[in-house]
Amino acid sequence: MFKGIKGDKERRNRKIHEAVREHGYTLSQVGEVVGLHYSTVSRIVKKLEQGR
């Protein structure tokens, strides 16, 4: 799911949102895979849901 996203933050963030909201992965699980803290993943998801 996260292959080929290195260096493309917009795409990475969309994939993070998709993993959490559509596929049911936890913030911690996603963070571990992409190398981010779960709180950072949470902020990314929240930002996309607010349309920023």
pTM: 0.88
Span 1-52, pLDDT tens digits? 887 777 889 999 999 999 999 999 999 999 999 999 999 999 999 999 998 6
State residue 1's pLDDT score.
81
State residue 6's pLDDT score.
79
Is 31 within 8 Å of 19 (Cβ atoms)?
no
Measured CA angle at 12 (ends 8, 13), to 5 deg = 120
For residue 7 the two structure tokens come to 């260096």
State residue 52's pLDDT score.
66
